[in-house]
């Protein structure tokens, strides 16, 4: 029996991904050692399921389609750069969500119970914070320059769009990074 590394995600529009890639380039000039997320892989994770057995994937996709279909499409803006961890010792660089924040949290909260009932999701200890991961800092010392660069981008605007579907995705880790594949697309109803 095989297993797939699986997550539920909000796709990001091409123009917003391009602006996020430009932000990555700006932040890279700070000189910190960072593993950047490829532009094509930028997304907002709703829930990370981890390793899911093949035979459970249809049920996962059905649950996501059912829950998502009961929610109306909504507008979302991607904005503001920040980090998880101390700004002088960040672990993960991200951009946040402005408009659509509450809708994303509500979708996350609606998806959690039925996915937990399937036995393929374990609730996280920390509260859900919708974000788009730009990169992960390698090593312990990112330096003051990265902290300053992040502070200068705190009001960054990445664009607005409509969230009309949610994807169930798989991630296969390869030598050059993860390869993502859409397993199913769940349309928001309303």
Residues in the chain: 190
Tokens (6 digits) for 10: 């909000």
pTM score: 0.91
Tens-place pLDDT, residues 116-151: 999 887 788 888 999 999 999 887 666 788 889 999
Query: Exactly one of 131, 150, 158, 163 is catalytic; which is it?
Result: 131
Asked if residue 35 lies in contact with residue 136, where contact means CB atoms within 8 angstroms, the answer is yes
pLDDT in tens, 148-188: 999 999 999 999 999 999 999 999 888 877 889 999 999 99
- Encode pLDDT of 87-99 as tens digits: 778 889 999 999 9
What is the Cβ-side half-sphere exposure of residue 56, based on CA atoms within 13 angstroms? Answer: 20
d(CA 124, CA 60): 18
Q: Which tokens belong to 26?
A: 């700006």
> Mean per-residue pLDDT for 62-70?
96
What does each C-alpha distance from 162 to 76, 78, 99, 156 come to in angstroms?
Answer: 6, 11, 10, 19
Q: Is 167 a catalytic residue?
A: no
CB burial of 65-80 (b: ≥16 within 10 Å; e: otherwise) equals: bebbeebeebebbbbb
* Residue 52 to residues 43, 62, 77, 170, Cα–Cα distance (Å): 20, 14, 31, 9
Catalytic residue, chosen from 17, 19, 43, 167, is: 43
The dihedral formed by the CA atoms of 158, 161, 163 and 165, expressed in degrees to the nearest 10: -100
């Amino acid at each position: 029996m095989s297993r797939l590394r699986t997550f539920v995600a909000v796709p990001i529009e091409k123009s917003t991904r391009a602006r996020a890639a430009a932000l990555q380039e700006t932040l890279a000039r700070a000189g910190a050692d960072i593993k950047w997320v490829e532009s094509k892989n930028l997304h907002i994770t709703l829930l990370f399921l981890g390793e899911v057995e093949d035979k459970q994937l249809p049920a996962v996709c059905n649950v996501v389609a059912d829950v998502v279909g009961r929610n109306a499409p909504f507008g979302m803006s991607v904005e503001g750069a920040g980090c998880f961890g101390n700004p002088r010792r960040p672990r993960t660089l991200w951009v946040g969500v402005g408009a659509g924040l509450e809708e994303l949290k509500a979708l996350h909260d609606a998806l959690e119970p039925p996915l937990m009932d399937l036995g393929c999701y374990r609730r996280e200890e920390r509260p859900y914070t919708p974000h788009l991961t730009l990169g992960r800092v390698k090593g312990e010392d990112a330096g003051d320059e990265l902290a300053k660069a992040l502070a200068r981008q705190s009001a960054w605007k990445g664009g607005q769009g409509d969230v009309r579907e949610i994807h169930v995705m798989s991630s296969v880790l390869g030598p050059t990074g993860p390869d993502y594949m859409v397993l199913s697309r769940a349309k928001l109803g309303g």
